[in-house]
Each structure stands twice: as C-alpha cells, then as structure tokens.
Amino acid sequence: MANTITFKPKQVTKRMLSGLAPRAYEVVVNRFGLTDDAERKTLEAIGQKYGITRERVRQIENAALTLIRKSDLFKNEKAVFEELKKFMHSLGAIIGEQDLLGHLSKDSLTQNHIHLYLTLGDEFTKHKEDDHFKTRWSVSDEVSDEVHSSLKKLYEGLSSDELVPEGELVSRFLDHVKNLSEQYKNEEIAKRWLSMSKTISKNPLGEWGKSTSSSIKTRGIKDYAFLMMRKHGSPMHFREVAKAVADTFDKKCHTATCHNELIKDNRFVLVGRGIYALSEWGYKSGVVRDVIKELLKKNGPMSKEDIVEQVMKERYLKKNTILVNLQNSKYFKKNKSGLYTAV
C-alpha cells in the first residue's frame, strides 16, 4: 500500500461493522467489495442470493450505513476520517474518485475499504458522473463550486480544434481559480482538477483541447498520423509518417496501411510522389493542372516562371512536370503578351 495513510483499513472496517446483524453485514461487505475478490456486487446479485428484491437490498444497505454512522464504534474512528479529509485537502479538496483511490493505494480491496469510509463520512461529498465531469469527491463546497465553474469556463474558451500545450492550459486554468486559497494554486493540483473533466482531454503528445476534437480523441492510424505531421510542421513522405507513428506512440503501423489512411482522409493532401501535407496548412487537393488552374483563377494571366514558382510552393515536383502540364492546350493557352491563361 502507498505510504500515504497511517491506519490499517481492514482493521478499521472490521471494528466499525462489528455491530451489524449478519445479513446487514453481508450486504455491506458485498456491496462495497470487501471480500477477498474485491468484487462490488450489484443489488440484483445480492437479492438473488437471499431471495429478496433489489429494493429490499437497497433498504438493508441504507439502514446498515445509518446504523454505523450513529454507533460509538464509528465515532471511535474519528481520527481515520480526519486523516482522509486532510489528505484530500492536500490533493486539492476535490478530486476524481479513481485518482483519489489510486493515490491512497494500488490494491483494489484497500481502495474498496476507503470507498466505504468516503460514503460513511459526513466530511465527504460525492459528485456523480455527469456530461461534464467524472465521478469525484470533495471536502470543500467553496473549492468544489469554483473548480466546476472554472473548468466550464475553460472549456468555453477553447475553439473546436484548438490544441494547447499543458503548461499554457494550466496557466489559463489557474487564472480562472484566482479566488481560491494559495494552497491549491499549483501545477499538480491544477492537472488533477483538469483530469476530472470529460469535455477537456489530453492527446498522446500531451496537448490539451476539447475532448470531441479528432486531435484529442485519437481513433486509429489516421489520427496518430495527423498528430505526428502537425508536430513535424512540414510535408512528410508516408514512409516517414509510418515510422514516426510507430516510434512515437509505440503502435504497429504498416507502411501500406498508413499510406491508405492518408489517401482516404481529406485532412491530408498529396503534394509530391508519396509526400503529404496537411490541408490546414493551406494545401489543396488535386493534380498539378488543378493547382495551375486555381492559381490562374486567383491571379489572372501569369508568366511561366511565376507559375512554376507558385506551384513549387504547393507541390514537391520537378520543374519539368509543371512545364509539361502547361503545354496541354486542352487546359492552358498563351495570350498575346506571352502569359498563360486557363482555357
């Protein structure tokens, strides 16, 4: 067990539950997963075992927890609850359930005992999972309200596909919670609070953004390729992309598979033989003649030299390939001034 608590959970639980009747004891033990297999049983499963309804199991559980809270056996363990409360304050006063339990112990059974104490203690408030946040626990209404509000404001301030380095996002977040006590204003606590959010997430490169963004919620090779190219910042050959994905994310990435994904996804533009760029960089799809036609449409008649120069900025080609396309009279012609126009 992690060296974060001084009490022995199994012994504490044994003492607190010793005043319960056998069936009530069994219900609590099974509901909270206090058996050796650490499995939290459902109301249905316990009901089937005893031949009673799930609602009756719920009643027995609630009555048992109320009885424990009123008992001297519970009051005698006050130091345990004070220690847990102090520990939670050190983590930020509000923290995701899994994060909290993971800090206290890596052992599932021990975590289940701690979960029982959180449920029993008046000091602890459970916030159930919703559309914005994961399940979390708090020991301060003031901190809880401020953090929830600030996380929503932080989300609203992000654009759809914005990617923010972790340090910058933490800084933005801490600006939102400036009214809180200084004891909570540090990077570790801020990151812990951020991890409670379901609407803001981190991608495999450590960049943050809206959870719905394809740059955050990676689904397969195409998204990893997108992140890799965005990080690289300039066009890459598909073989380079495949190797970078495999090396950076420790993912199996076959060259042919990667190439197929780049071909199918309109976020990538073929700009040379096997070389791809991102469309968000301003590159547009199409063969060489399409690029030339777009240039002429935008700029009007152009000289051969200017066309070659501009096309070379958008495509990784040999000069001769561009000149050959210009000679196609089906698409291009020279005017009296010797400048090229589209047919």
**What digits encode the pLDDT tens for the residues 206-232?**
899 999 987 898 888 999 999 999 889
Question: CA dist 310 to 127, 284, 288, Å?
Answer: 58, 13, 11
Burial string for 67-101 (b: 16+ CB within 10 Å, else e) reads bbeebeebeebeebbeebbebbbebbbbbbbebbb
Claim to verify: residue 115 and residue 12 sit in the same structural domain? yes
- Read off the pLDDT of residues 263-311 as tens digits, 9 standing for 90 and up: 999 999 998 889 999 998 888 888 888 889 989 999 999 999 999 999 8
Q: Among 123, 153, 186, identify where a domain stops.
A: 123
Claim to verify: residue 71 and residue 90 sit in the same structural domain? yes
Claim to verify: residue 24 and residue 110 sit in the same structural domain? yes
Domain CATH number, residue 255? 1.10.10
Claim to verify: residue 4 and residue 70 sit in the same structural domain? yes
Claim to verify: residue 321 and residue 232 sit in the same structural domain? no
What's the first-to-final CA gap in the chain, in angstroms? Answer: 77
Domain CATH number, residue 49? 1.10.10.10
Claim to verify: residue 84 and residue 6 sit in the same structural domain? yes
* Domain-located, residue 216: no
Q: What is the pLDDT of residue 294?
A: 87
| Structural domain boundaries, residue 164 | 140-211
* Domain-located, residue 293: yes
Half-sphere exposure of 151 (CA within 13 A, CB side): 24
Task: Supply the pTM of this predicted model.
Answer: 0.75
* Domain-located, residue 132: no
Claim to verify: residue 100 and residue 45 sit in the same structural domain? yes
Claim to verify: residue 15 and residue 81 sit in the same structural domain? yes
Q: What is the pLDDT of residue 291?
A: 87
Claim to verify: residue 16 and residue 78 sit in the same structural domain? yes
- Read off the pLDDT of residues 32-75 as tens digits, 9 standing for 90 and up: 999 999 999 999 999 999 999 999 999 999 999 999 999 999 99
Claim to verify: residue 108 and residue 164 sit in the same structural domain? no
Distance CA 34, CA 64 (A): 15
Claim to verify: residue 2 and residue 119 sit in the same structural domain? yes
* Domain-located, residue 46: yes
**Segment of 144-153, 156-165, 333-342 carrying the highest mean pLDDT:** 144-153
- Read off the pLDDT of residues 165-188 as tens digits, 9 standing for 90 and up: 999 999 999 999 988 999 999 999
Q: Among 177, 211, 245, identify where a domain stops.
A: 211
For residue 136, the cross-strand partners are: 96, 127
* Domain-located, residue 53: yes
Question: Where residue 2 falls among pLDDT bands split at 50, 70, 90?
Answer: very low
Count of domains observed in the chain: 4
- Give the CA angle between residues 117, 122, 128 to the nearest 5°: 75
Q: Among 231, 252, 281, identify where a domain stops.
A: 281
Claim to verify: residue 98 and residue 6 sit in the same structural domain? yes
What's the longest Cα–Cα distance across the chain? 104
CB 303 within 8 A of CB 339: yes
